Amino acid sequence: MSAPTPPQGFPASWPRILLVTGKGGVGKTTVAATLANQAAGRGERTILVETSGARVAPGLFGRPSEGYAPVVMAPRLSAISITPEAAFEDYVLQQIKVRRLYKLVFENRIMSPFVEAVPGLHDALQLGKVMDLERDTHRGTRVWDRIIVDAPATGHGLTMMGAARAMMDLTRAGPMFEGLRQVHAVLDDPAKTGLVLVALPEEMPVNETLDLWEQLGDSRAQVRLCVLNQVHPRLCGDQDWAAASAHLQQLASPAVAEAMDLVARTISRSNRQEEAHTRLAAGLTVPVVDLPTLTHGVRSRDDLESLGQALSEALR
């Protein structure tokens, strides 16, 4: 009898670039790292991109972050942390080739505030670095099969996604315009770039996710999945608990009453979680999957493996 096929995670047919976004604090990095670990586990050369200087992912694999330089976290899995400043320097050096000239022209009290003030520039440059990774090749073979981007939180995430178009409108022509045009062409193409939304089973994150869905407009075609993160398991059904509590109340014990209150609050939380799932499923036209909460948090690759298996089973 042949061994069962292990879960393969999200479909390999999904776009090569996946942007993970959601309200701050919902676990975007955890979901992005889970997806990246799944892709690497099935043989894809994968890089996890943390934006705005975040450096969380390498620690989950027991590795220190190398910042703007990719760090290998596991076989076929690397991570990089992008800052707007490093992305800007990288872009300019690609154009002028001389670091001393860059420092002379841009690292001074006149130009630095000007560069900071350009609307959308930093976000566009971070997306430009994602495009550099997308185009990166070695001996004629692309370096990365899969690029997972831990995008900024909802709101800033929307701004970042529109940054290339905004900067195109500002520049109109020239090398930067052409580069931004290429960035926009890839990131706006549902066949090349997909979105994964992340929410918690709470009212505000669900509301914000539904609001984001509406604001995406035509870009909704790029959304592949919504992950409802940190879902607690249900202890029992409402009817079973109603029958059991009727008997437990007859015991008239303070300890039993305290335990019953705890169980009742836990069941109430489960009901709210299911209501959150129902609202998302009704408001979105993509799959909504629950990702379980881990009592000790997410601290290692083993935890990501557990979440990955749960995600695979939910998708299957």
Chain segment 87-100, per-residue pLDDT in tens: 777 777 666 655 56
The pLDDT value recorded for residue 119 is: 52
Amino acid letter, 149: V
Write the pLDDT tens digit of every residue in 214-225.
988 888 999 999
The pLDDT value recorded for residue 239 is: 76
Domain annotation covers residue 258 = no
pLDDT at 162 over 70: no
Domain annotation covers residue 50 = yes
CATH number, domain of 97, equals: 3.40.50.300
Q: Quote the number of domains for the chain.
A: 1
Kindly indicate the confidence band of residue 101, based on its pLDDT and cuts at 50, 70 and 90: low
Write the pLDDT tens digit of every residue in 185-213.
788 899 999 999 999 999 999 999 999 99
Q: How far apart are CA 150 and CA 296, in angstroms?
A: 22
Domain annotation covers residue 186 = yes
Domain annotation covers residue 206 = yes
pLDDT at 2 over 50: no
Please tell me the least confidently modeled range out of 25-39, 134-148, 223-237.
223-237
Query: In this structure, what are the phi and psi dihedrals at residue 276, rounded to the nearest 5 degrees?
Result: -60, -45
Higher-scoring residue by pLDDT: 236, 290: 290
pTM: 0.84
Kindly indicate the confidence band of residue 278, based on its pLDDT and cuts at 50, 70 and 90: very high
Structural element, H or E, at residue 18:
strand 17-22
pLDDT at 227 over 70: yes
The pLDDT value recorded for residue 55 is: 94
Could you tell me how far CA 181 lies from the centroid of its own chain?
24
The pLDDT value recorded for residue 158 is: 61
Domain annotation covers residue 187 = yes
For residue 267, the tally of other CB atoms under 10 A from its CB is 19
Q: Which structural domain, as residue segments, surrounds residue 171?
A: 17-232+284-315
Domain annotation covers residue 96 = yes
Domain annotation covers residue 52 = yes
Kindly indicate the confidence band of residue 131, based on its pLDDT and cuts at 50, 70 and 90: confident
Please provide the average confidence, as pLDDT, over all residues in the chain. Answer: 83
The pLDDT value recorded for residue 255 is: 80
Helix segments in the chain, DSSP class H: 28-41, 57-60, 84-96, 99-106, 111-117, 121-135, 156-161, 163-171, 175-187, 203-216, 238-248, 254-283, 301-315
The pLDDT value recorded for residue 167 is: 65
Kindly indicate the confidence band of residue 70, based on its pLDDT and cuts at 50, 70 and 90: very high
Domain annotation covers residue 218 = yes
pLDDT at 178 over 80: no
